[in-house]
Structure 1
């Protein structure tokens, strides 16, 4: 049986590592905030790679919708440059074309955490009110 860790996953890991270094040390675009690469998914035919990212503004503040949209546009406009830099860093015959997407899973996680915390707080207040009613009886 073939191992579950396929060639595309290995290539995705290498692309993520090399791209993180590229964004940190070589790309000096002031329109980019602090970009974090969350996931990389390489197509089975190696034609493209979907790169999921999150972004923060300077000062460690979560980015607003306009900043996210601009960052996604800047990264997708740089796709040719990024692909050529990745080709130099990697020793593969084919380097997939990068496509950047904002990772909404982090935002969903924050919303779910807030909902859970709110439910816990409301439940605790409800239990305290029930205990006070029992003591008054």
Structure 2
């Protein structure tokens, strides 16, 4: 398990380095407001997947993706300078689907609320199908018959 711990530590370190470098700024006007959400490193420490989100429109997301793709070499060099590893992992930038998933979940929750209110409305005017008290009761005997 030591290899997994090392990969997790390296992933955290890469996330810090890339985020700090993006915070300082890259001379690319296409780069928008980018947030690094997660980094995953393979077990052999050769490849790092960097997940990010971009605040803005779809066009700004596409422009930021192109800017990150063009800055991958510079960011890999920055990572290589700041880690203590024999090999510098290759970087791959992957847009994180957190905002889209959040919107999808909000839509599903709204549908569930609508269905719940429809069921509540149907229940308000509902009646039992049979008698009000469907259970069989034991016969009551008169004391006079004994």
Q: TM-score range by the shorter chain?
A: 0.7 to 0.9
Q: Normalising by structure 1, what TM-score?
A: 0.78
1:129 Cα offset (Å):
4.7
Matches within 5 A, 1:1-137: 2=1, 5-57=4-56, 63-64=57-58, 66-131=59-124, 133-134=125-126
1:45 Cα offset (Å):
2.3
Contact 2:47 2:89 in 1 (8 A): yes
In structure 2, the residue corresponding to 1:27 is in which secondary structure? Answer: coil
1:93 Cα offset (Å):
2.3
Counterpart-to-counterpart distance in 2, 1:130 and 1:6: 55
Contact 2:4 2:43 in 1 (8 A): no
Structure possessing the higher radius of gyration over alpha carbons: 2
- Deviation track 1:64-87 (CA, whole Å, cap 9, x = no partner) reads 1x3323222211111110011122
Contact 2:32 2:61 in 1 (8 A): no
In structure 1, the residue corresponding to 2:73 is in which secondary structure? Answer: helix
In structure 2, the residue corresponding to 1:50 is in which secondary structure? Answer: strand
Equivalent residue pairs, number:
127
